[in-house]
Amino acid sequence: MTKRPLILVTNDDGISAPGLRTLISVMKTLGDVVVVAPDSPQSGMGHAITINSTLFVEKINIDDGVQEEYSCSGTPADCVKLAINEILGRRPDLCVSGINHGSNSSINVIYSGTMSAALEAGIEGIPAIGFSLLDYDWNANFEHCKSFVKTIAKNVLEHGLQDGVVLNVNLPNLHEKDIKGIRVCRQARANWKEEFDKRQNPMGRDYYWLTGKFVNMDNGEDTDEWALENGYVSVVPVQFDLTAHQSIKTLNTWDFND
């Protein structure tokens, strides 16, 4: 009898998030599922880890169809570290993170707790995927995501991923029949034009709300932003080696002896 794959499921929206529950339902059709997810929302945490305070993990039971579920007081990256080192009895065959409530395309990957969980698994040599839906509503409908999530996860289980690479998958907020397919893309060159809404509390102390506008400066038709705007699911291979290899030759012409 062939052993079913062990799949670690996590997210950054918290253990009770509908997107996580949808991802669990899909992964149960592909393997044995263990869930380790934050006990509260951790959006925008990036690759933060807990080093100056304690971490707590509680075994819970929300979904009877999974092997085990744990709620963790830490960040998404903490969840993956704890799962691999303390909770799982063997290395998972796949780690999936999400489905995030909101986009993680383009520059958003830098800030994303969803993708940082996937990257943490990738650092440990575990094939990993981060899934996000372009809908920030807590009550977003994730039904149309299921077939695409399953197709992509099945391919990773079958083929694996290159060492040092994880997948950043974003799904447009469209009816399933209106999604044209899946496109492998590069990350669009874009950023946030940030603003701070300055206010004052009743005690006279200034405080700020971060706001801003997403600006896409990339006209390429091979980017995640183009794919999403044109009705495709975007799949971007992401690496955690941040070396700008193309700059090494130039920097080696500098004189560092002055």
Query: What average pLDDT does the chain have?
Result: 91
Token representation of residue 132:
């996000």
* 221-235 pLDDT, tens digit each: 999 999 999 999 999
Q: Is 64 exposed, middle or buried (0-12, 13-18, 19+ CB in 10 A)?
A: exposed
The pTM of the full predicted model, rounded to 2 decimals, is 0.91
- Domain membership flag for residue 209: no
Residue 9 has pLDDT above 80, yes or no: yes
Q: What is the pLDDT of residue 63?
A: 78
> Predicted confidence band at 170 (pLDDT cuts at 50, 70, 90)?
very high
Q: What is the pLDDT of residue 22?
A: 96
| CB 217 within 8 Å of CB 191 | yes
What residues make up the domain containing 164? 6-188+219-251
Q: Total structural domains in the chain?
A: 1
- Domain membership flag for residue 83: yes
Q: What is the pLDDT of residue 124?
A: 95
- Domain membership flag for residue 257: no
- Domain membership flag for residue 213: no
Residue 1 has pLDDT above 60, yes or no: no
Range in 89-93, 154-158, 194-198 the model is least confident about: 194-198
Q: How far apart are the C-alpha atoms of 167 and 189, rounded to whole Å?
A: 18
- Domain membership flag for residue 89: yes
Mean of pLDDT values over 123-146: 94
CATH number of the domain at 133, please.
3.40.1210.10
Q: How far apart are the C-alpha atoms of 88 and 35, rounded to whole Å?
A: 10
> Predicted confidence band at 2 (pLDDT cuts at 50, 70, 90)?
low
